[in-house]
Structure 1
Amino acid sequence: MTAIRVLSYNVRYANRGDHHDAWHDRRDAVARLVRFHRPDVAAFQEPLPDQRDDLRERLPKYEFVGRGREADGEGEGCPVAVRSDRWEVTESDTFWLSETPEEPSAGWDASYPRIATWGRVRAVDGDARLLVVNTHFDHVSAHARRESARLLRERVPEIAAAGEGGSDETPPVVLVGDLNCTPGSEPHRILVEGDGSETDEGSEIGDGAAGKPPEDALALRDAATEADLRYGPETSLTDFARLIDGRRIDHALVSPPVSVDTFATLADRDDRGRYPSDHLPILARLSM
């Protein structure tokens, strides 16, 4: 068995209107949190180019892959960072959550272009391999969230099955990110159960049973549900000062043969007594 720790963290884009929670007042705390918990893989959402540079500078033991969502590579990104003393990235790429995933684009009435960045990683010592996918769903359009989930159901198995260097072995998959929806919502059900049932356009919570995926489809499970030990708040959203209840919108989903030992929502505060972002990071300790 190989143990791997995967962290997902929406660090909030550098918004000048954040005043005393501006990025330059938070960036050291964000990096210290990551260094303290020492994940093997850290997946970030929302960092702009200067923020990505700041994270690289403050996390020198990590190799970063990924680009921004705009056509020139700028804009918000979903970078994946890997501890280079334990893992190496053998292949990576980014695609757009839209009807034209190979081109910079916004799909299905999304308010902005949305992307998924993936990295195929391999243990430096050993044969363990893993496909990590990091994404950020639209925060406005329910339609975009549903279709983004369906696109990932289609593309992630294709990427996993492509293998490394022509290998016909499908690696385990970990899909993480800010999905802007809670457990039980239709996008979440699409990812873990299949096509999902129809719900009202404006609603992300439904009670209907989702359609089951084909037998050869990628099976995903919610790490928070599967964990032998779960720790931390039930929510992952903050206003920098307080937790916003009932909003676990940051997720880690895993495929067989990954087992989930622990799942934590990390409520670490900085030396000002504030949360370093408007999201809490999540951390899953996995075994393969």
Structure 2
Amino acid sequence: MELRVATFNIRNSSADDGNDSWPLRREATVAAVAALDAEVVGLQEVLPDQLAYLREALPAYDVVGAGRDDGDATGEHASVLVRRDAWRIESHETRWLSLEPERPGSVGWDAHLTRIATLARLRRRESGRAVGIANTHYDHAGETARIESSRLLGRWLAAEPGLPWIILGDLNATPESEPLRALTSEGWRQTLPADAGGTEHAFSGAEDGDRIDHILIGKGLTCRGARIACERFEGRLPSDHWPVVADLVLT
């Protein structure tokens, strides 16, 4: 069974981005998500106003995930978008990347900010096959926090071995870094080829920046192909990151 997934840091709407601010590029962001034609999309840095806009502009998707500040609506979300004609959401929850993963707003290790992961368990409407999605955004400053977040996430997913899991996210870490090695050493596989290019470009449009956005797959999944989608829409950059998209097969 085939499945297309994507991850995309859409850049929060509170940032002072001038000509690239959210009100000026939000249509391009929606166009970028739609162009991925993915059944599941993990988004990062989604603030409540952005979430409301995306829900209205992308009616084919159900959206899950809580705000990181209070476990409800406040703060950035690591939203999971699921195309409802293909998948049914059986359960989902938000957990905090910290030593207190059930406590909203908790900050882990040397992280500068509260960080979260949204876990969603999906079932294919047509075949009944199931898959798990973990969408996350690691801290930008705390190296220990990034490593420990990988270990924590790995433990959570290992506790549900009956599901083939997919990790989506902005890990603020490059492919050969220790946070990624903490996952790949446990059997997680990266989907992008080594020469795929970069994902972070700070609204420059560069394609050779750091690759910090990733899709990783576990047991029960293979990758037919993955790419970084470096596309503008009506001259607009949709974010300060490029999205990553992968075509997977449940074996």
How would you bin the TM-score normalised by the shorter chain?
Answer: over 0.9
- 1:201 aligns to what? none
SS in 1 for 2:210: coil
SS in 2 for 1:17: coil
- 2:112 aligns to what? 111
Mapped to 1, the partners of 2:14 and 2:102 lie a distance apart of 28
Mapped to 2, the partners of 1:239 and 1:4 lie a distance apart of 30
Show the 5 A alignment for 1:100-249: 100-104=100-104, 105-158=106-159, 160-161=160-161, 170-194=162-186, 219-225=187-193, 233-243=196-206, 245-249=208-212
Mapped to 1, the partners of 2:71 and 2:36 lie a distance apart of 33
* Offset of residue 244 of structure 1: 6.0
Deviations 1:16-65 (A, max 9, x none): 51111111111111111222221000110001011111111111000001
Show the 5 A alignment for 1:35-50: 35-50=34-49
SS in 2 for 1:237: coil
Residue 286 of structure 1 aligns with an amino acid whose one-letter code is L
Mapped to 1, the partners of 2:71 and 2:101 lie a distance apart of 16
Quick check: which has more Rg, 1 or 2? 1
Residue 242 of structure 2 aligns with an amino acid whose one-letter code is L
Mapped to 2, the partners of 1:171 and 1:144 lie a distance apart of 26
Mapped to 2, the partners of 1:64 and 1:7 lie a distance apart of 14
* Offset of residue 239 of structure 1: 2.1
- 1:52 aligns to what? 51
1:19 corresponds to 2:18: yes
Counterpart contact for 1:106–1:113, Cα < 8 Å: yes
Residue 142 of structure 1 aligns with an amino acid whose one-letter code is E
- 1:82 aligns to what? 82
Mapped to 1, the partners of 2:57 and 2:138 lie a distance apart of 27
1:278 corresponds to 2:211: no
Cα distance change, pair 282–117 in 1 and its aligned pair in 2 (3 A)? same
- 1:203 aligns to what? none
Give every structure 1 segment of 4 or more consecutive aligned residues whose post-TM-superposition deviation is greater than 6 Å.
none
Mapped to 1, the partners of 2:196 and 2:232 lie a distance apart of 13
Higher relative contact order (CA 8 A, sep 6+): 2
Cα distance change, pair 268–233 in 1 and its aligned pair in 2 (3 A)? farther
* Offset of residue 15 of structure 1: 2.8
* Offset of residue 254 of structure 1: 0.3
Counterpart contact for 2:110–2:143, Cα < 8 Å: no
Aligned-CA RMSD value: 1.5
Counterpart contact for 2:225–2:247, Cα < 8 Å: yes
- The total of aligned residue pairs comes to 248
